[in-house]
A and B are shown apart, each in its own frame.
Chain A
Amino acid sequence: MAIIEVNGLSKSYRVYQKPEGLLASFRGLFHRTYRDVRAVREIDLEVRQGEFVAFLGPNGAGKTTTLKLLSGVINPTSGSARVMGHVPWRRENAYRRRFALVMGQKNQLWWDLPAIESFRLHQRIYGVEPAAFHRNCDELTELLDIRPLLHQPVRELSLGERMKMELTAALLHAPDVLFLDEPTIGLDVVAQHQIQTFFRHYQEQRRITILLTSHYMKDVAALCRRVVIIARGRIQYDGSLAGIIDRFSGSKIVTFQFAEGQSAGDLSAYGEIVELREPKARLRIARNEVPRALAKVLASHAVADVSVEDPPLEEVIADLFTQVNGRPAEPDRGDAVGEPMDEVGGVVP
């Protein structure tokens, strides 16, 4: 049974357009021009209970907007969504007690107090029974290895420790659905790894439904079987991680290790040369050309070793984003909600 059902969901923002300059600023006091930015466009999605789904996409693609719609922070322009039978933007308490939203850069703990105090408040707000509270709190702080830090003011914790506290706070009421927006942003490799391990373990045990957005392919590869790629507000792909390569990568990386004394010669006829350091050569060869190219090179050269690999996933996805966007993926800009992706009745930038 689907726990999340989304049909034709769209969200447009109105964005104030301010031309450059002081004069324009004064003009803006009296007359403002706005532009509609369509952040999410007619998305259909179905998530079953217990799935761990990753949202991938360039900044401003509509990932965060989708999570905000599903957690009821914003209302849609059109379309419908149901999460556990509730319409999220009605914000009924019965729904709000059953999910949690964690945003990597937002802090909901009391800054000057030990985290345990914020946990107590969450316990009351969500009406968690004392026994369940202690059980959950113990389990979470044990798994995340933060038990000794519970009585230390939050402001004195490191970024990674604070994120773990945020996660604990978000999970104290044992939500059935969890929305994670860039949970590992800005964390070091160790903390990232710990949090990944935690999610894997926790999700396996509890079979809760998780929607994750992340820029780190490692997060996604480690955690999610299902990947949804969003770009320009639309779903471009919905399937397994491995399927992305099959579907979007038309080439393979072939590495030849030539025998001693054998020169590589001119290999460019077979494909694009990625790296040539004799006696080793790496070539990118169109997938349907691979058997023929292999046969020819093996016939004409003395080859000691050969390997055929898929191109790295990051590369495939970056290419995909570039294709879809019509421009290279931009550097990280954080919570890019209303980044102009498309206009209604305007000029495409």
Chain B
Amino acid sequence: MIARVRVWWTILRIALEDRLVYRGDFALGTLMRFLPIITQIFLWSAIFDALDRGPAGPSRIVGYQFEDMVAYYLLTMLARAFSSMPGLASGIALQIRNGEIKRFLVQPVDLLGFLLLTRVAHKLAYYSVAVGPFALVFFLCRGYFVHGWPDASTIGLFALSLVLSFLLGFFLEACIGLMGFWLLEVGSLLFIYMLLSFFLSGHMFPLDMLPHPWRELVDLLPLKYLAYFPAAVFLDKLGSDEIARGVVVQCVWLAVFIVASRIAFRRGIRRYSAFGG
């Protein structure tokens, strides 16, 4: 067991070092994350302005006033920083196509474990640089959190939901990447996933804005746990039973994708060994 932890630690350490080699690209990538949210804020600001000028006075859209909306976007941005996996699926597919995947057949090391650890390293490197800008943005936008900061237990649940969203995002994209054993190129599959995820994770708009049958449907899908769920926990949009149910559903989905990625890897390797190599 100690030996195994040592392996994990070494992979993590080396991946972290590797990540910090290209400083310029890294810093730029970190800052670019803030751009999309600014356009979202402008858009909603215009929408609320138009509504406010109406006879009803300061308005709400499905329980959100402008300030809530800004707070929501800031929080989904934070959640996406945990759950998005740039380059994971395409990287796996590329390794399958160019044969680098052999390494995980020849050496006594597990592909998924290795990728998970390198991804943790990516994220740690990212957070260590991004924590400054994030803190600054949240500080500047503190006025938008009109209900004040949540209590410690909510913060705890929020942190849990972020960790789970990281794991869910990882295994979901790993499954897409492993489809490369059959498809070789997963670009289109990944595009479909990104598109669905953009709308159904709550990245584009708060999911409680969805009308009746869609809302319930989206509740059952895994995607909402990648952005909407953590933000809703933080903003106290959910009752404690809803949170509990959400965490259970998230864990179930996580288990599903862990098992699915294991099966996909094993079957994929069998196929690879039989046909290619």
Q: Interface on A for B, CB 8 Å cutoff?
A: 13-14, 65, 68, 71-75, 89, 91, 93, 96-97, 100-101, 106, 108, 110, 112-113, 117-118, 120-121, 123-127, 153, 335, 337
Contact = CB atoms under 8 A, between A and B. Distances in A.
A93 B277 CA distance: 19
Contacts of B240: none
Contact of B102 (A14, A73, A100, A124): A73
B135 interface: no
Nearest to A95: B108
Contacts of A108: 103
Contacts of B277: 65, 68, 73-74, 337
A108 B105 CA distance: 13
B17 A113 contact: yes
Nearest to B101: A73
B14 A93 contact: no
Nearest to A65: B277
B18 A106 contact: no
A54 B233 CA distance: 65
Contacts of A65: 277
A14 B275 contact: yes
Contacts of B270: 75
B273 A96 contact: no
Nearest to A39: B277
A113 B21 contact: yes
Interface string B208-252: 000000000000000000000000000000000000000000000
Contacts of A120: 10, 14
B273 A74 contact: yes
B10 A96 contact: no
Contacts of A101: 102, 106
B274 interface: yes
Contacts of B274: 74-75
Contact of B6 (A71, A73, A75, A124): A124
Interface of B: 3, 6-7, 10-11, 14, 17-18, 21-22, 99-100, 102-103, 105-109, 270, 272-277
A234 B99 CA distance: 25
A73 B273 contact: yes
A101 B18 CA distance: 24
B123 to A, nearest CB: 18
A125 B107 contact: yes
Contact of A126 (B108, B272, B275): B108
A110 B14 contact: yes
B273 A125 contact: no
A72 B22 CA distance: 36
Nearest to B105: A73
Given A74-B276, A75-B273, A96-B107, 5 more contacts: A73-B105, A73-B106, A113-B14, A125-B108, A126-B107
A121 B10 CA distance: 6
Given A112-B18, A113-B18, A125-B7, A93 B106 contact: no
Q: Which of B99, B273, B275, B277 has the most CB of A within 10 A?
A: B277
B87 to A, nearest CB: 15
A121 B18 contact: no
Contacts of B103: 108
Contacts of B276: 13, 74, 337
A110 B10 contact: no
Contacts of A72: 105-106
B241 to A, nearest CB: 45
Closest 4 CB pairs between A and B?
Answer: A74-B277, A93-B108, A96-B108, A124-B10
Q: Which of B7, B100, B106 has the most CB of A within 10 A?
A: B106
Contacts of B106: 71-73, 96, 100-101
B100 A106 contact: yes
Nearest to B22: A112
